[in-house]
Every structure is written in structure tokens, then in C-alpha cells.
Structure 1
């Protein structure tokens, strides 16, 4: 009580000074008519409420109830549009859920979702679940705070517990650069104008990136239907009748690996024998895999399988099934991988590209299953049209060249996207230092804004 009474007896000047960040704690210089204040002074933080399952999934009411996953559903301006959960006033009161004013900034406050650093703005009054927190500005434009918040990493404000979480009291003490009202609007307008141009360029780069996979699929389709080497056959006097359709079970032996269990047991793991796991293949970016993360001991050999170098492997389990790779060393491998034994070593790249063309189709076979899986019978029954070996070599040569160009196009588009993100970050950094050329030093100081609310 005494503490509350002391606060009540503070003079307006004392309250103003308490709201200002001391010069020694200010992150960087700002224009003279700006001021550094504590974020909590500028508005109100509100934590979310528990959202019982029995009230979830209703969409006919007027009050949106946002969950942490809702933050994915915001437009390029940060406006939330998720409508998968709604409540009425009766339910809101029953849940004791606070009604968050419209134009609040909403973000994750607990768990790994904080790392995603997402922000959204609610266009209408709403409720939020207990994984979220909101901020409603009193002395600033919502968009001004929103853009400023994009430049900070909220994960830096989590407490050191088993589950990362953000405390309201910690955010209230974050230093915030307060600009005069008119300058806030000019900054928002300038950022939106610059971002609109960047978003236009970003969309073009994203379209180019998306088209790479479509073109790659088309190239691979042409390769294994004979279209890619039509001119080559004409020049060599060869027809499509030279192609033979075979099942893989007819041209090689397909075997599945094994996993010593329990996984990680020192009885089996940690030796000097390479042990291939699915992750060793899926994190690979080319046709060849050259190492494994894990090893096993001699005792583990009885529970797995060894293959020689230059063996084609294929992931056959889980969400990342259907990824082929050529192993360049002798290794054991787990039961999430199949091996093709007996293929001609000189044609392995041809088969690698064939299975690359089949990845999407393979994943569709068990789509919806809890644990998608390809057994050796399914793999063995896949048919391939085989040209003669010299034409296989020509197909590989053409695919190497064409897919290398597509990879360059992909990397170029990814580079543009990365550069745009960096430019946006630079714009935000300059904006909240007063370096966008929008500030009018003759305008009334932002301190006058504070005097209204402290």
C-alpha cells in the first residue's frame, strides 16, 4: 500500500522523468524532438486467456478468438484474417477472456513460436489465447509501433526457463523511440511506400522461385519419356523401340536397411562403422552423399545391413520419403532407407534422376497415413523405360546441364528474396533513428505527447 501511495504522490514532472529512458540507457541517438521512453508507457499489454476445446471451431460469431497459429494468417500489412474460431459475448465472459481492442499488436508470448517473431494487427475487437499477448497503443500510431516492433527480436526478452516465455513486465521496460505524432505518420507512410515497391519485387522473385520446381519436373518428364533425346536418336539412327519397360525388381535387388535398437545405445553406437540415417540423405543437396553423422560398433552389424560404395539409396519412410542419393562410401543404413543392389555403376546417375522425377508420386501413395511408408514390393513394382546405355549417358549429360541452370536460377531468386529482407530491415533501422528524411525539427517535441498520459 505504501508503495502505491508513494506513486500517487509523485508530481507530474516526476512521473514524466520516470517515463523517460536515462541517456546512459538509450540504445542510439534520435532527433532532438524525439524522446526515448519505456514501451509500457505508450500503451497497454494484455496476456491471453485459456480457450477451452469445447468452444473452439465455431465460426458464426462476431468476436474472433485468435490462437498462436492464427499469426500465420495475416496479409502483407500485418492485418489478421483468420476466422477459424469465434465466440459470442456470453462465451467470452464465461471464459473470462479480455476483449482486446481493435488495432492492437498481437504476438506469441510462450514456447518456440516466439522464435518465429511474428506480429499481427487485429482489425476488430477480439480475444486471444494464453499463448499470445497484445499491445494497444495510447500515445502512438498502431502502425508506428508495429513497424518498430518488426525490428526487434522478441526471443531476446524470454526468461531462462525450460519453456521460453515473455513477461509483460520485461516488455514494459524496453526502450522505445517516441517521435512527434505528425512524424509518426510520415514514417509509416514512407515505410509503406518503400515496402510496397519491395513487395512487388519480392513477388516477382517468389514467382521465379516457384516456377523452378515446375520447370525441373517438366525437364525430368521429357527425359524419361524420350522427348529430351529425340534429336540425339535421330542423329544416331535409333528409335523409341530401343527403349524397354522393366520393373525395378527385374533389373536389381531392392533391400531395406536395419536399425540397432535401442537407438543410441552405447552397446551398438559410437564405433567407427558409418551408419546412414534418413537425415543424412535429406539434408544433401546433390546426387552424392559423402558422410554420415552417426556410426555403429561391430555389435550393431548384426542388426543392420552393409552396402558397398556407389550404391543408389532411397528414403522410404516418413514425410521425406522418395529422396534418392548415391552413396560414395561403404556404409550401413537404417530401416528408413532402401538400397538398389546390382545396378550398373555406370548408369547410377540415370537411375538417380529417374527416382528424383518420382518423389512427388511416391509421397502421394501413402498420403494421409500416420507414417507414410514404401516397402520393397512397392519400390520393386515401379516401372522404368530403359534406353540403351549410351542414350542413358546422353540423358544424364543433358540433365546435368539443364538442372544446373535451374539451380542457378533458384539460387538467384533466393538471393533476391534474402536481399529484399535485408533492405527492409535496413529501412526499419533507419526509420526509427529518424534517418528517412521525414523529420521536421521545428515540430513540437514528443515529450508533449507523454505529458498527456503520465
Structure 2
């Protein structure tokens, strides 16, 4: 058996020892003296937090219910999870005040009771340290998934023992540093929350025209009326269709014939009246009027059929859209030719918008890829609007988009929700996109 050994010379006054010398391992209690009706504390494995030393002793049971089949402990003992992965994750804790002064818990706990002159907190910090747990992991016994730290191994583990007063100084310093670390983490969380608020406020101002006030003041001759702006969308869409039609005919009419664009839908007066007033040169339109929207496809059932996978075509899920930092560059699954036949390959640059589980998360494809119908693909009419503009707008109104999702266990919105999403629109010259991108990404 391999034991944890000291690799460095100990400081003056310290001495090497074994765990059994400084703690009683799995001590017993006199159960005969405890009435079955006594209320005692109960701690399941879930009652000990991983890696923090936190422990919940609020549960209670009658002694008669736990006298057999559970691990006994008392105040000041150190609980040490023996089974994988709880041990590796650091489920250890010092037992605080208990109901009736006694507690019972999972049989997957070892109990370490410090002997006289041993600080319970020093013992806890040592056995919960990453190095101690890593060594214990290498010496576990049992089958895969049920491996445990044995009592003989724990009993014979070496550890350095400082004098009692120095144990307390070490514990005090550790807790001081941990306190400073907790304050730092709290400050980071506060800063992160403040940045989110700032970011949302910035996006709100952007789409109310507040970031382009100076441009409008400097370029009054370039401002169009809202009607003229909407007419330009219709004209550019018509021009795009004519180009697509010409390309289709030049190719020998390969593939599907392009569809002529429908007349531009205009917002009803009552709908416009409920929206914030826009600056001169801006207009409201629907998202479907400035780009193509379509749901991903995965027609085959079951969707996890192994016959679909293992080819060269990247296949994405909503989680990969959410995890991306603006551009999706990683994928974990691929479709083969059979998978591609029942799906659709979306081109690089498509804006992916999730409509299930994680609502309205967005990211651009960094490669051609397939995705299921829980993701919508948006391709901007680039002579009408920049894809980045639409991306920022959706990020700015995520809460509003989520409001369309029914209150079910699995929140969903649909393609129609996005098609009818109202977006403030301005011409390509009337908005400082570079400034918005720089501000939102925090660049100077």
C-alpha cells in the first residue's frame, strides 16, 4: 500500500505522524444508552458541500430510525467522504453543533475524531487538501464507479504535525486568506452583474438612436423619411431577387428556382403606437423583412440514431451556440451523408438563434454546419442590414423574446415569433456599427 509521504524537511517543532495517531478513525458510540425516541441530527451525502466545508445539519430523525445502517458522529468530528467521486470532489466538513449532540449520516462517510491537542480545523484542512485527495484517489479500492478509500489506508496515512499553538495559527491564516478570496469573488460577481446592466443599457440606447445622435446632426442631408427607408428595403429585396434569378438561369436552372419576395409588411398603427419613438431617418419593420429565417432540420427519428453520425458535416446543438463567444468554432458531433440527406447544411456566417431550452442565444457559424429545429438560422440581406446589427438587437431584447415562450417545463418559441419580431431599422450609413461593436465588446 502506498501512503502519503512528506517530500520536504519539516520545520522545527514539527513531527511526522500517522493519521491514526492524531485522530480516532470511525469511532463507535454507546447506542444502548440512547432512547429510540431521541431526536438526532441526520446528514446524507448531499448535506456536505463539495470543496467548501459546508455542511447542513438541519435534518433530524429519531434515533430508532438510524441506529442501524448509518454512520454515527458527534460535534467536532471531521466527516470524510470515502466513495468516488465524492472524495475527489472534496466532500469533507467539520461537524458543527448537533441536535442532542449526536448525528448520523451516510455509510459512505469516514469519521475522524481529533485526539486531545489536535485542532479539528487543522485536521479538516489537511485531509481536504487537493494533494491529500489526489494521493487517496490513487489508493482507492473496489470496482469502477464504486471505488472507496479504505479504513486501513486512511489509518496509516502520513501527515506533518505542528505544535498545537501553531496548528491554530495555520488555521487562522488559512481562514483569513479564504475570507479575502471570498471577498474577491464577490467583487468579481458584482462587477460582472454591473457589466451586464451596462451592456443592456448600451444596447437599449443603441437601438433608440442615442449612439448616432452626432452623426444625424452632422449629416442632415443623408436622412431619409421612414416611408423612404421602408421603400428602399423593398427595392433592395427586389434587386436581390433579380440577381438570384439571373444566377439560377446562368447555372442552367440547377436547384430550386428563387422565390419572388412578398410585398413589405407594414406595422399596424396600433402596434407602432406602443413602441418607443424613433429618431428621424429610422423606421420599424419586422425581422423577416431584412433577412431569411429558417429552422434547422433533423427529420429522422430517433434523432440520436447512430446511423446519422460519423461523417464530415458538423452538427451543432443549442448548447454549442450558447457556449460560443460570438462565433461558433467548435463542434462535438458530425453528420455523415445519410445524416445530411435528412438535414440542411447552413453556410458560414449564418446567425444561429436558439428557440428551445436556451431562448434567443446567438452566435455566427464559423463553418458550414447542420443544426436541428431547436435552432433558427438567419441570413441578413446584406445590402439592407448588417448581420452584427441584428445580432446585437436580439441580444438587447432577449427578455422580451423570452416573454413569448409558453410557461412550460421546456420553454420554447417558434419561427413565427422571430419572423414577427419588430426591429428598429436605419440605413447602412445612418448608424455607427463600428462604435457599437467596440463599445459592446469593451474595446477602446
TM-score (norm 1): 0.69
Alignment of 1:287-326 (within 5 A): 287-290=326-329, 292-318=331-357, 320-326=358-364
Partner of 2:318: 278
Partner of 1:167: 149
- What SS class does the counterpart of residue 225 from structure 1 fall into? coil
Change (3 A) 1:107 1:236: farther
Change (3 A) 1:253 1:193: closer
Partner of 2:382: 344
Partner of 1:268: 308
Structure 2 residue aligned with 1:104, among 77, 102, 105? Answer: 77
- What SS class does the counterpart of residue 130 from structure 2 fall into? coil
> Which entry has the higher C-alpha Rg, 1 or 2?
2
1-side partners of 2:356 and 2:172: how far apart? Answer: 51
Partner of 1:148: 126
Shift of 1:131: 4.9
Larger RCO (CA under 8 A, 6+ residues apart): 1
2:316–2:333: 8 Å Cα contact kept in structure 1? yes
Partner of 1:121: 94
Shift of 1:350: 0.7
1:221-280 Cα offsets, whole Å, 9 max, x none, are 222233333343333335614332233234444221123555565643222233333343
Aligned residue pair count: 365
Shift of 1:145: 1.3
- What SS class does the counterpart of residue 374 from structure 1 fall into? coil
1:112-131 Cα offsets, whole Å, 9 max, x none, are 44443243323123332345
1:67–1:132: 8 Å Cα contact kept in structure 2? no
1-side partners of 2:418 and 2:88: how far apart? Answer: 39
Change (3 A) 1:308 1:195: closer
1-side partners of 2:417 and 2:57: how far apart? Answer: 41
Are positions 1:205 and 2:191 aligned together?
no
Structure 2 residue aligned with 1:230, among 194, 208, 213? Answer: 213
Shift of 1:342: 4.9
1-side partners of 2:115 and 2:423: how far apart? Answer: 67
Partner of 2:259: none
Unpaired segments ≥5 residues, structure 2: 28-37, 224-277
Partner of 1:13: none
2-side partners of 1:29 and 1:367: how far apart? Answer: 65
TM-score (norm 2): 0.70
Structure 1 residue aligned with 2:61, among 74, 87, 90? Answer: 87
1:73–1:80: 8 Å Cα contact kept in structure 2? no
Structure 2 residue aligned with 1:71, among 40, 48, 52? Answer: 48
Are positions 1:400 and 2:437 aligned together?
yes
Change (3 A) 1:311 1:192: closer
Shift of 1:313: 1.0
2-side partners of 1:391 and 1:172: how far apart? Answer: 75
- What SS class does the counterpart of residue 207 from structure 1 fall into? helix
Partner of 1:422: none
Shift of 1:282: 2.6
- What SS class does the counterpart of residue 306 from structure 1 fall into? coil
Partner of 1:157: 136
2-side partners of 1:365 and 1:165: how far apart? Answer: 48
Unpaired segments ≥5 residues, structure 1: 1-20, 48-60, 409-454
2-side partners of 1:44 and 1:366: how far apart? Answer: 57
Change (3 A) 1:234 1:294: same
Change (3 A) 1:342 1:189: closer
Root mean square deviation of aligned Cα: 3.4
